[in-house]
Structure 1
Amino acid sequence: MVFITCLFFGFIIAASGSIVPSFLNLTVVKFSLKSGVKSALYLIGGYATVLFFQANIGAYLSNILMENSQYITIIQKIGTGILILLSINFFRLHYTIKKKVKKEEIDKSKAYLHGIGMSLLNTTAIPFYFTSISFLIGLDYFEYSFINSLFFSIGSTAGSFSLYALYATVANKIEHKLTYIATKMDFILGCLTGTIGIGNIVYMLFFN
Protein backbone atom coordinates (compact mmCIF):
# COMPACT_ATOMS: atom_id res chain seq x y z
CA MET A 1 0.00 0.00 0.00
CA VAL A 2 2.93 2.34 0.55
CA PHE A 3 3.69 2.51 -3.17
CA ILE A 4 0.06 3.54 -3.86
CA THR A 5 0.41 6.38 -1.35
CA CYS A 6 3.65 7.55 -2.99
CA LEU A 7 2.05 7.39 -6.43
CA PHE A 8 -0.97 9.31 -5.18
CA PHE A 9 0.97 12.11 -3.51
CA GLY A 10 3.30 12.36 -6.49
CA PHE A 11 0.36 12.66 -8.87
CA ILE A 12 -1.54 15.22 -6.78
CA ILE A 13 1.49 17.41 -6.05
CA ALA A 14 2.68 17.46 -9.66
CA ALA A 15 -0.80 18.05 -11.03
CA SER A 16 -1.32 20.94 -8.60
CA GLY A 17 2.01 22.49 -9.60
CA SER A 18 1.20 22.12 -13.30
CA ILE A 19 -2.11 23.99 -13.01
CA VAL A 20 -0.35 27.31 -12.40
CA PRO A 21 0.29 29.09 -15.73
CA SER A 22 3.99 28.98 -16.60
CA PHE A 23 6.19 29.10 -19.68
CA LEU A 24 5.86 25.30 -19.90
CA ASN A 25 2.09 25.03 -20.19
CA LEU A 26 1.91 28.20 -22.28
CA THR A 27 4.33 26.56 -24.71
CA VAL A 28 2.16 23.42 -24.75
CA VAL A 29 -0.86 25.51 -25.73
CA LYS A 30 0.96 27.41 -28.47
CA PHE A 31 2.63 24.25 -29.77
CA SER A 32 -0.71 22.39 -29.86
CA LEU A 33 -2.34 25.21 -31.83
CA LYS A 34 0.58 25.41 -34.24
CA SER A 35 1.55 21.77 -34.76
CA GLY A 36 -1.36 19.72 -33.41
CA VAL A 37 -2.10 17.73 -30.26
CA LYS A 38 0.04 14.73 -31.28
CA SER A 39 3.16 16.87 -31.63
CA ALA A 40 2.35 18.62 -28.34
CA LEU A 41 2.31 15.21 -26.62
CA TYR A 42 5.88 14.58 -27.81
CA LEU A 43 6.80 17.95 -26.32
CA ILE A 44 5.12 16.96 -23.04
CA GLY A 45 6.98 13.64 -23.15
CA GLY A 46 10.22 15.63 -23.07
CA TYR A 47 8.94 17.61 -20.09
CA ALA A 48 7.99 14.41 -18.27
CA THR A 49 11.39 12.75 -18.81
CA VAL A 50 13.25 15.58 -17.08
CA LEU A 51 10.56 15.97 -14.42
CA PHE A 52 11.01 12.34 -13.37
CA PHE A 53 14.63 13.03 -12.41
CA GLN A 54 13.83 16.42 -10.89
CA ALA A 55 11.31 14.78 -8.55
CA ASN A 56 13.92 12.19 -7.54
CA ILE A 57 16.48 14.90 -6.80
CA GLY A 58 13.92 16.86 -4.79
CA ALA A 59 13.10 13.77 -2.70
CA TYR A 60 16.77 13.03 -2.06
CA LEU A 61 17.54 16.61 -1.00
CA SER A 62 14.53 16.73 1.31
CA ASN A 63 15.72 13.54 3.02
CA ILE A 64 19.19 15.03 3.58
CA LEU A 65 17.66 18.15 5.10
CA MET A 66 15.37 16.29 7.46
CA GLU A 67 18.19 14.02 8.71
CA ASN A 68 20.84 16.75 8.97
CA SER A 69 19.29 19.81 10.57
CA GLN A 70 22.67 21.58 10.62
CA TYR A 71 22.26 22.15 6.90
CA ILE A 72 19.01 24.06 7.36
CA THR A 73 20.69 27.48 7.73
CA ILE A 74 22.87 26.94 4.67
CA ILE A 75 19.91 25.78 2.60
CA GLN A 76 17.84 28.68 3.92
CA LYS A 77 20.46 31.15 2.68
CA ILE A 78 20.68 29.45 -0.71
CA GLY A 79 16.89 29.29 -0.91
CA THR A 80 16.59 32.98 -0.06
CA GLY A 81 19.02 33.86 -2.84
CA ILE A 82 17.04 31.72 -5.28
CA LEU A 83 13.77 33.38 -4.21
CA ILE A 84 15.19 36.86 -4.79
CA LEU A 85 16.50 35.83 -8.21
CA LEU A 86 13.17 34.23 -9.09
CA SER A 87 11.35 37.38 -7.98
CA ILE A 88 13.53 39.52 -10.23
CA ASN A 89 12.97 37.08 -13.10
CA PHE A 90 9.18 37.07 -12.63
CA PHE A 91 9.08 40.87 -12.67
CA ARG A 92 11.28 40.82 -15.79
CA LEU A 93 8.85 38.44 -17.47
CA HIS A 94 5.89 40.59 -16.45
CA TYR A 95 7.31 43.78 -17.89
CA THR A 96 8.65 42.19 -21.09
CA ILE A 97 5.77 39.86 -21.89
CA LYS A 98 4.04 42.62 -23.86
CA LYS A 99 6.75 42.37 -26.46
CA LYS A 100 5.69 40.08 -29.28
CA VAL A 101 8.07 37.23 -29.86
CA LYS A 102 8.30 35.75 -33.33
CA LYS A 103 7.01 32.19 -33.32
CA GLU A 104 9.31 29.53 -34.63
CA GLU A 105 8.02 26.38 -36.28
CA ILE A 106 9.26 23.28 -34.47
CA ASP A 107 9.47 20.05 -36.45
CA LYS A 108 7.46 17.19 -34.94
CA SER A 109 10.53 14.96 -34.79
CA LYS A 110 12.30 17.56 -32.65
CA ALA A 111 9.39 18.13 -30.27
CA TYR A 112 10.64 15.64 -27.67
CA LEU A 113 14.14 17.16 -27.50
CA HIS A 114 12.62 20.63 -27.41
CA GLY A 115 10.54 19.54 -24.40
CA ILE A 116 13.64 18.23 -22.63
CA GLY A 117 15.48 21.50 -23.24
CA MET A 118 12.64 23.65 -21.95
CA SER A 119 12.08 21.47 -18.88
CA LEU A 120 15.77 21.76 -17.97
CA LEU A 121 15.29 25.55 -17.92
CA ASN A 122 12.50 25.19 -15.35
CA THR A 123 14.57 26.08 -12.28
CA THR A 124 11.57 26.00 -9.92
CA ALA A 125 10.85 22.26 -10.30
CA ILE A 126 13.46 20.87 -7.87
CA PRO A 127 12.76 23.48 -5.13
CA PHE A 128 9.04 22.78 -5.58
CA TYR A 129 9.46 19.03 -5.05
CA PHE A 130 12.02 19.57 -2.30
CA THR A 131 9.58 21.74 -0.35
CA SER A 132 6.55 19.51 -1.00
CA ILE A 133 8.30 16.28 0.03
CA SER A 134 9.85 17.92 3.10
CA PHE A 135 6.33 18.91 4.13
CA LEU A 136 5.10 15.33 3.65
CA ILE A 137 8.05 13.96 5.65
CA GLY A 138 7.31 16.41 8.45
CA LEU A 139 3.71 15.12 8.57
CA ASP A 140 4.91 11.47 8.51
CA TYR A 141 3.17 10.87 5.17
CA PHE A 142 6.38 10.04 3.34
CA GLU A 143 9.47 8.07 4.34
CA TYR A 144 12.41 8.40 1.99
CA SER A 145 13.76 5.30 0.29
CA PHE A 146 14.82 4.54 -3.25
CA ILE A 147 11.59 2.64 -3.94
CA ASN A 148 9.34 5.30 -2.38
CA SER A 149 11.17 8.01 -4.31
CA LEU A 150 10.81 5.99 -7.51
CA PHE A 151 7.05 5.58 -7.12
CA PHE A 152 6.65 9.23 -6.11
CA SER A 153 8.52 10.26 -9.25
CA ILE A 154 6.37 7.99 -11.41
CA GLY A 155 3.25 9.51 -9.89
CA SER A 156 4.52 13.06 -10.34
CA THR A 157 5.44 12.33 -13.96
CA ALA A 158 1.95 10.98 -14.62
CA GLY A 159 0.36 13.96 -12.87
CA SER A 160 2.25 16.56 -14.87
CA PHE A 161 1.80 14.68 -18.13
CA SER A 162 -1.97 14.49 -17.55
CA LEU A 163 -2.33 18.21 -16.83
CA TYR A 164 -0.13 19.28 -19.73
CA ALA A 165 -2.02 16.89 -22.03
CA LEU A 166 -5.26 18.52 -20.90
CA TYR A 167 -3.83 21.93 -21.80
CA ALA A 168 -2.88 20.60 -25.24
CA THR A 169 -6.33 19.10 -25.79
CA VAL A 170 -8.32 22.22 -24.91
CA ALA A 171 -5.77 24.67 -26.33
CA ASN A 172 -8.24 26.43 -28.62
CA LYS A 173 -10.51 27.29 -25.71
CA ILE A 174 -7.93 28.45 -23.17
CA GLU A 175 -5.18 30.12 -25.23
CA HIS A 176 -6.27 33.72 -24.68
CA LYS A 177 -7.44 33.21 -21.10
CA LEU A 178 -4.25 31.41 -20.13
CA THR A 179 -2.06 34.05 -21.74
CA TYR A 180 -3.94 36.83 -19.90
CA ILE A 181 -3.70 35.02 -16.56
CA ALA A 182 0.00 34.37 -17.14
CA THR A 183 0.75 38.07 -17.54
CA LYS A 184 -0.81 38.71 -14.13
CA MET A 185 0.61 35.52 -12.62
CA ASP A 186 4.21 36.59 -13.29
CA PHE A 187 3.61 39.79 -11.33
CA ILE A 188 1.88 37.92 -8.49
CA LEU A 189 4.65 35.32 -8.32
CA GLY A 190 7.24 38.11 -8.35
CA CYS A 191 5.55 39.76 -5.36
CA LEU A 192 5.18 36.48 -3.46
CA THR A 193 8.74 35.23 -3.98
CA GLY A 194 10.13 38.70 -3.27
CA THR A 195 8.13 39.03 -0.05
CA ILE A 196 9.18 35.57 1.17
CA GLY A 197 12.80 36.26 0.23
CA ILE A 198 12.88 39.58 2.08
CA GLY A 199 11.12 37.95 5.03
CA ASN A 200 13.82 35.27 5.16
CA ILE A 201 16.55 37.93 5.10
CA VAL A 202 14.91 39.80 8.00
CA TYR A 203 14.53 36.55 9.94
CA MET A 204 18.18 35.55 9.43
CA LEU A 205 19.47 39.01 10.36
CA PHE A 206 17.37 39.67 13.47
CA PHE A 207 15.97 36.39 14.77
CA ASN A 208 18.63 33.74 14.04
Structure 2
Amino acid sequence: MIFFTCLLLGFIIAASGSIVPSFLNLTVVKFSLKSGRKSALYLIGGFATVLFFQANIGAYLSSVLMKNSEYISTIQKIGTGILFLVSIHFFRLHFTLKKQKIKTEIKKSKAYFHGIGMSLLNTFAIPFYFTAISFLIGLDYFEYSFLNSFYFSIGSTFGSFILYAIYATVASRIEHKLTFIATKMDFILGCLTGVVAMGNLIYLI
Protein backbone atom coordinates (compact mmCIF):
# COMPACT_ATOMS: atom_id res chain seq x y z
CA MET A 1 0.00 0.00 0.00
CA ILE A 2 2.85 2.38 0.89
CA PHE A 3 4.49 1.58 -2.45
CA PHE A 4 1.42 2.64 -4.45
CA THR A 5 0.82 5.71 -2.27
CA CYS A 6 4.37 7.02 -2.72
CA LEU A 7 4.29 6.10 -6.41
CA LEU A 8 1.03 7.98 -6.91
CA LEU A 9 2.19 11.05 -4.96
CA GLY A 10 5.40 11.20 -6.99
CA PHE A 11 3.48 10.84 -10.24
CA ILE A 12 0.96 13.58 -9.39
CA ILE A 13 3.55 16.08 -8.15
CA ALA A 14 5.91 15.52 -11.09
CA ALA A 15 3.08 15.69 -13.60
CA SER A 16 1.83 18.93 -12.01
CA GLY A 17 5.30 20.45 -12.22
CA SER A 18 5.95 19.25 -15.76
CA ILE A 19 2.69 20.56 -17.19
CA VAL A 20 3.75 24.18 -16.53
CA PRO A 21 5.41 25.69 -19.66
CA SER A 22 9.18 25.89 -19.24
CA PHE A 23 12.36 25.70 -21.31
CA LEU A 24 12.22 21.89 -20.95
CA ASN A 25 8.74 21.73 -22.49
CA LEU A 26 9.79 24.03 -25.31
CA THR A 27 12.92 21.95 -25.95
CA VAL A 28 10.79 18.81 -26.23
CA VAL A 29 8.43 20.48 -28.71
CA LYS A 30 11.22 21.86 -30.91
CA PHE A 31 13.15 18.59 -30.82
CA SER A 32 10.05 16.60 -31.74
CA LEU A 33 9.36 18.87 -34.71
CA LYS A 34 12.94 18.77 -35.98
CA SER A 35 13.98 15.19 -35.29
CA GLY A 36 10.74 13.30 -34.77
CA ARG A 37 8.86 11.86 -31.83
CA LYS A 38 11.23 8.91 -31.33
CA SER A 39 14.26 11.15 -30.88
CA ALA A 40 12.25 13.39 -28.57
CA LEU A 41 11.52 10.38 -26.36
CA TYR A 42 15.26 9.78 -25.96
CA LEU A 43 15.60 13.43 -24.98
CA ILE A 44 12.81 13.00 -22.44
CA GLY A 45 14.55 9.89 -21.14
CA GLY A 46 17.52 12.10 -20.31
CA PHE A 47 15.22 14.54 -18.52
CA ALA A 48 13.61 11.75 -16.50
CA THR A 49 16.94 10.20 -15.48
CA VAL A 50 18.10 13.41 -13.82
CA LEU A 51 14.67 14.12 -12.32
CA PHE A 52 14.80 10.75 -10.55
CA PHE A 53 17.87 11.84 -8.58
CA GLN A 54 16.59 15.40 -8.10
CA ALA A 55 13.41 14.03 -6.50
CA ASN A 56 15.52 11.88 -4.15
CA ILE A 57 17.65 14.86 -3.15
CA GLY A 58 14.55 17.00 -2.58
CA ALA A 59 13.00 14.29 -0.38
CA TYR A 60 16.17 13.91 1.67
CA LEU A 61 16.59 17.66 2.21
CA SER A 62 12.96 18.06 3.25
CA SER A 63 13.27 15.27 5.84
CA VAL A 64 16.47 16.74 7.29
CA LEU A 65 15.14 20.27 7.58
CA MET A 66 11.76 19.21 8.96
CA LYS A 67 13.59 17.42 11.81
CA ASN A 68 16.15 20.20 12.36
CA SER A 69 14.16 23.42 12.28
CA GLU A 70 17.09 25.40 13.74
CA TYR A 71 18.78 25.21 10.35
CA ILE A 72 15.79 26.66 8.50
CA SER A 73 16.77 30.30 9.22
CA THR A 74 20.26 29.74 7.80
CA ILE A 75 18.83 27.97 4.77
CA GLN A 76 16.39 30.85 4.25
CA LYS A 77 19.26 33.37 4.20
CA ILE A 78 21.24 31.29 1.73
CA GLY A 79 18.12 30.66 -0.33
CA THR A 80 17.31 34.37 -0.44
CA GLY A 81 20.76 35.13 -1.84
CA ILE A 82 20.40 32.36 -4.41
CA LEU A 83 16.96 33.66 -5.43
CA PHE A 84 18.40 37.11 -6.09
CA LEU A 85 21.16 35.57 -8.23
CA VAL A 86 18.64 33.40 -10.10
CA SER A 87 16.40 36.43 -10.67
CA ILE A 88 19.31 38.39 -12.15
CA HIS A 89 20.19 35.37 -14.30
CA PHE A 90 16.66 35.16 -15.76
CA PHE A 91 16.56 38.88 -16.51
CA ARG A 92 19.92 38.53 -18.26
CA LEU A 93 18.58 35.66 -20.35
CA HIS A 94 15.48 37.66 -21.26
CA PHE A 95 17.38 40.73 -22.45
CA THR A 96 20.13 38.80 -24.27
CA LEU A 97 17.96 36.09 -25.85
CA LYS A 98 17.42 38.02 -29.09
CA LYS A 99 21.17 38.39 -29.57
CA GLN A 100 21.86 34.68 -29.33
CA LYS A 101 22.34 32.64 -32.46
CA ILE A 102 19.87 29.90 -33.37
CA LYS A 103 21.17 26.57 -32.18
CA THR A 104 21.96 23.88 -34.72
CA GLU A 105 19.92 20.71 -34.80
CA ILE A 106 21.15 18.03 -32.40
CA LYS A 107 21.86 14.55 -33.75
CA LYS A 108 19.51 11.78 -32.69
CA SER A 109 22.38 9.79 -31.17
CA LYS A 110 23.05 12.64 -28.74
CA ALA A 111 19.42 13.22 -27.75
CA TYR A 112 19.58 11.30 -24.45
CA PHE A 113 22.76 13.03 -23.25
CA HIS A 114 21.42 16.40 -24.39
CA GLY A 115 18.36 15.70 -22.25
CA ILE A 116 20.57 14.99 -19.23
CA GLY A 117 22.47 18.25 -19.76
CA MET A 118 19.30 20.31 -20.15
CA SER A 119 17.71 18.75 -17.06
CA LEU A 120 20.80 19.52 -14.97
CA LEU A 121 20.32 23.18 -15.87
CA ASN A 122 16.80 23.07 -14.46
CA THR A 123 17.58 24.92 -11.21
CA PHE A 124 13.99 24.75 -9.93
CA ALA A 125 13.63 20.96 -9.83
CA ILE A 126 15.19 20.28 -6.41
CA PRO A 127 13.53 23.29 -4.68
CA PHE A 128 10.23 22.22 -6.26
CA TYR A 129 10.47 18.68 -4.90
CA PHE A 130 11.78 19.93 -1.56
CA THR A 131 8.79 22.26 -1.14
CA ALA A 132 6.24 19.69 -2.33
CA ILE A 133 7.55 16.89 -0.12
CA SER A 134 7.86 19.21 2.91
CA PHE A 135 4.21 20.06 2.39
CA LEU A 136 3.29 16.36 2.23
CA ILE A 137 5.32 15.62 5.37
CA GLY A 138 3.58 18.48 7.18
CA LEU A 139 0.20 16.97 6.26
CA ASP A 140 1.34 13.47 7.33
CA TYR A 141 0.86 12.16 3.79
CA PHE A 142 4.51 11.21 3.43
CA GLU A 143 7.08 9.78 5.85
CA TYR A 144 10.67 9.89 4.68
CA SER A 145 12.66 6.69 4.36
CA PHE A 146 15.03 5.40 1.72
CA LEU A 147 12.38 3.11 0.24
CA ASN A 148 9.61 5.71 0.35
CA SER A 149 11.90 8.23 -1.35
CA PHE A 150 12.84 5.60 -3.94
CA TYR A 151 9.19 4.80 -4.68
CA PHE A 152 8.32 8.48 -4.82
CA SER A 153 11.17 9.11 -7.28
CA ILE A 154 10.00 6.27 -9.51
CA GLY A 155 6.53 7.80 -9.60
CA SER A 156 7.95 11.26 -10.33
CA THR A 157 10.06 9.83 -13.15
CA PHE A 158 7.01 8.25 -14.79
CA GLY A 159 4.96 11.41 -14.24
CA SER A 160 7.55 13.64 -15.89
CA PHE A 161 8.18 11.21 -18.74
CA ILE A 162 4.49 10.84 -19.61
CA LEU A 163 3.78 14.59 -19.51
CA TYR A 164 6.80 15.43 -21.66
CA ALA A 165 5.87 12.59 -24.04
CA ILE A 166 2.44 14.20 -24.46
CA TYR A 167 4.17 17.47 -25.35
CA ALA A 168 6.25 15.60 -27.95
CA THR A 169 3.14 13.93 -29.39
CA VAL A 170 1.11 17.13 -29.80
CA ALA A 171 4.13 19.29 -30.65
CA SER A 172 2.73 20.64 -33.92
CA ARG A 173 -0.44 21.84 -32.22
CA ILE A 174 1.12 23.68 -29.28
CA GLU A 175 4.37 24.95 -30.83
CA HIS A 176 3.22 28.54 -31.33
CA LYS A 177 1.58 28.83 -27.92
CA LEU A 178 4.64 27.51 -26.09
CA THR A 179 6.98 29.65 -28.19
CA PHE A 180 5.07 32.81 -27.26
CA ILE A 181 5.06 31.89 -23.57
CA ALA A 182 8.74 30.93 -23.68
CA THR A 183 9.75 34.35 -25.03
CA LYS A 184 8.29 35.85 -21.86
CA MET A 185 9.15 32.98 -19.51
CA ASP A 186 12.59 34.24 -18.46
CA PHE A 187 11.17 37.69 -17.65
CA ILE A 188 8.25 36.16 -15.70
CA LEU A 189 10.56 33.85 -13.74
CA GLY A 190 12.91 36.76 -13.06
CA CYS A 191 10.02 38.79 -11.62
CA LEU A 192 8.69 35.89 -9.56
CA THR A 193 12.05 34.92 -8.07
CA GLY A 194 12.81 38.59 -7.41
CA VAL A 195 9.52 39.12 -5.57
CA VAL A 196 10.02 35.96 -3.49
CA ALA A 197 13.60 37.00 -2.68
CA MET A 198 12.43 40.47 -1.57
CA GLY A 199 9.68 38.89 0.54
CA ASN A 200 12.20 36.59 2.22
CA LEU A 201 14.59 39.49 2.82
CA ILE A 202 11.85 41.60 4.44
CA TYR A 203 10.82 38.60 6.58
CA LEU A 204 14.40 37.98 7.74
CA ILE A 205 14.98 41.66 8.55
Q: TM-score, normalised by structure 1?
A: 0.94
The residue aligned with 1:84 is 84
For residues 128-163 of structure 1, give each alpha carbon's deviation from its aligned partner in whole angstroms, at most 9, with x where no partner exists. 111111111111111000111011100110111011
Q: Specify the code of the residue in structure 2 equivalent to 1:27.
A: T
Letter of the aligned partner of 1:45 in structure 2? Answer: G
Give the TM-score normalised by the residue count of structure 2: 0.95
Distance 1:97 1:171 in 2: 22
Over aligned residue pairs, what C-alpha RMSD do you find? 1.2
Query: Following the alignment from structure 2 to structure 1, what is the Cα–Cα distance between the partners of residues 154 and 69?
Result: 28
SS of corresponding position for 2:98: coil
Matches within 5 A, 1:59-208: 59-99=59-99, 101-205=101-205
Between the aligned partners of 1:40 and 1:181, the Cα distance in structure 2 is 20
Structure 2 stretches lacking a partner, 5+ long = none
> How far has the Cα of 1:92 moved from its partner?
2.2
Displacement of 1:100: 5.6
Taking the aligned partners of 2:22 and 2:93, their CA distance within structure 1 comes to 11
Cα distance in structure 1, aligned partners of 2:100 and 2:79: 32
Q: Distance in 2 between matches of 1:60 and 1:100?
A: 38
Q: Distance in 2 between matches of 1:101 and 1:159?
A: 33
Q: State the aligned residue count.
A: 205
Report the counterpart of residue 35 of structure 1 in structure 2.
35
Structure 1 CA distance for aligned equivalents of residues 166 and 96 of structure 2: 27
What residue number does 1:51 align with? 51
The one-letter code sitting in structure 1 at the alignment partner of 2:95 is Y
